[in-house]
Amino acid sequence: MENKKALPILFLVMFLVMVGFGIIIPVLPFYAENLGASPTELGLLMAVYSLMQLLFSPVWGQVSDRFGRKPVMLIGIFGLSLSFFLMAVASSLWMLFAARIIGGLLSSANMPTTMAYVADITTLENRSKGMGLIGAAVGLGFIFGPAVGGIFSDIRLNLPFYLAGITSVVTFFLVLIVLKESLPKEARDKSRSKEESSRWSAFRGSNTLLFILQFFVSLSLAGLEATFAYFAADRANLGTREIGYIFMIMGLAGAIVQGGLIGPLAKKYGEGKIIQTGIVVSALGFGFILLTNNFITAAIYLTIFGLGNGVIRPTVSALLTKTSTAGHGSVTGLLSSFDSLGRIIGPPLGGTLFALGAGFPYVSGMILSVIALLFYQIYRFRVKAAEETK
């Protein structure tokens, strides 16, 4: 049964979660450097968090199918808060690594459980709208978080970590007091009684192609995020402030589309059309980025890419939760795992390609987009063939 009242609460929860996460982004490299981290160790510090997300997102998604969304969300937000406070008091590099591992392990519960919650409370018709709202909350959190972190880091370098921890504590109590459980007890009991207990239970049939599609989309995005600052400095002589503005513009445009347009477009055209269009627009964006020569062109081209890329994840999530026979948590957890895999491989791959040629990561992005589109066409063919044989 649809619960429209819960969606604004979920929007606020994920916005605050991502604000807290975003607060530490501009500070962490300098903080780690002060504790003696080399560039390689800094890369490992970033990667270990994504590795925990890769390993444990499916686990938490499946746990939420068996024991409910709310307790798992509380565990995830508590883990995020704990990791921020541990980083704030870290006096050596190993403490920073321990905090990142704990944070990645526990906070990997947040995204898949929130997406599963959305699937629980929305009708099939409004599923994409709900997923889009969460995507918008994530995007806006990433815009405001780094700005806040940058401001407070001027006062004291570990202050943003305390601030992020406090934000997470507030979010924890918001979920504890205001948010109601979305998964009925009978559904939880049914999930616990199933013989099928593999975290890969959602990875079957034609839907496997959608998970792989999301991996290629995430891989291309991570490669861009890792190299665009260098590319923009090389091609348009842009500094960190201008690049920050460009990502802010892209994020705001993406949030508007995800929060306001995905729902109506999905109702009119279906998730499949949106996924295909998003991939095509992403590929065009990669191509346009190669033509960057000043701030305006960089902002326009990156925004074109962001608009296309931003609509893919919510609509893939909606389509999977509609078509999979596995629990919503198992589906969204596994999808988060594929997303994390792309974010682990993407930065070193993008960096390697950039070293070979400044435009190579974006040519690679176009190729990966074409591959993703091909996977969707195979998915559509298989679904159509299955329907005809019924």
What is the rounded average pLDDT of the residues 197-221? 85
CATH code for the domain of 312: 1.20.1250.20
Asked whether residue 364 is domain-assigned, the answer is yes
What is the rounded average pLDDT of the residues 256-269? 87
Considering 180, 215, 231, which residue would you say is the last residue of a domain?
180
Amino acid at the residue 32? A
Q: If we measure between CA atoms, which residue out of 347, 285, 344, 343 comes closest to residue 310?
A: 285
Helices 312-323, 295-310: inter-axial angle, 10-degree rounding: 0
Query: Under a CB-based contact definition with an 8 Å cutoff, are residues 303 and 228 in contact?
Result: no
Q: Provide the 8-state DSSP code for 179.
A: P
Based on the domain organization, do 334 and 210 belong to the same domain?
A: yes
Based on the domain organization, do 32 and 154 belong to the same domain?
A: yes
Q: If we measure between CA atoms, which residue out of 191, 251, 216 comes closest to residue 62?
A: 191
Asked whether residue 109 is domain-assigned, the answer is yes
pLDDT exceeds cutoff 90 at 76: yes
Asked whether residue 189 is domain-assigned, the answer is no
pLDDT at 199: 61
Based on the domain organization, do 27 and 160 belong to the same domain?
A: yes
* Region class of 205: left (phi > 0), else alpha (psi between -120 and 50), else beta: left
pLDDT at 348: 87
Q: Provide the 8-state DSSP code for 27.
A: T
* Tokens of residue 158, six digits: 């570990």
Based on the domain organization, do 226 and 374 belong to the same domain?
A: yes
pLDDT at 385: 86
Asked whether residue 188 is domain-assigned, the answer is no
pTM of structure: 0.87
Based on the domain organization, do 133 and 219 belong to the same domain?
A: no
Q: Could you report the per-residue pLDDT of 331-353, keeping only the tens digit for each? A: 999 999 999 999 889 888 888 89
- Please tell me the total number of residues recorded for the chain in this structure: 390
pLDDT band for position 34 (cuts 50, 70, 90): confident
Based on the domain organization, do 247 and 375 belong to the same domain?
A: yes
Based on the domain organization, do 249 and 304 belong to the same domain?
A: yes
* Region class of 147: left (phi > 0), else alpha (psi between -120 and 50), else beta: alpha
Q: If we measure between CA atoms, which residue out of 270, 355, 356 comes closest to residue 311?
A: 270
Distinct helix (H) and strand (E) counts, the chain = 17, 0
Q: Could you report the per-residue pLDDT of 157-186, keeping only the tens digit for each? A: 889 899 999 999 999 999 999 999 888 877
Asked whether residue 157 is domain-assigned, the answer is yes
Q: Output 148 or 191, whichever has higher pLDDT.
A: 148
Based on the domain organization, do 163 and 256 belong to the same domain?
A: no
Asked whether residue 146 is domain-assigned, the answer is yes
Based on the domain organization, do 261 and 141 belong to the same domain?
A: no
Three-class DSSP category at 261: coil
Based on the domain organization, do 168 and 211 belong to the same domain?
A: no
* Tokens of residue 239, six digits: 């500094």
What is the rounded average pLDDT of the residues 55-63? 91
Considering 114, 145, 180, which residue would you say is the last residue of a domain?
180
- Please count the structural domains in the chain: 2
pLDDT exceeds cutoff 60 at 193: no
What is the average pLDDT score of the chain? 88
Based on the domain organization, do 224 and 365 belong to the same domain?
A: yes
Asked whether residue 196 is domain-assigned, the answer is no
The contacts of residue 339 (CB under 8 Å, 6+ apart) are 214, 215, 218, 313
Question: HSE-up of 233 (CA within 13 Å, CB side)?
Answer: 9
Asked whether residue 191 is domain-assigned, the answer is no
pLDDT band for position 188 (cuts 50, 70, 90): low
pLDDT exceeds cutoff 70 at 36: yes
What is the rounded average pLDDT of the residues 24-44? 82
d(CA 134, CA 165): 21
Range of the domain at 108: 1-180
Based on the domain organization, do 60 and 24 belong to the same domain?
A: yes
The residue assigned the tokens 């199933």 is 194
pLDDT exceeds cutoff 50 at 195: no
Considering 180, 214, 238, which residue would you say is the last residue of a domain?
180
What is the rounded average pLDDT of the residues 99-110? 93
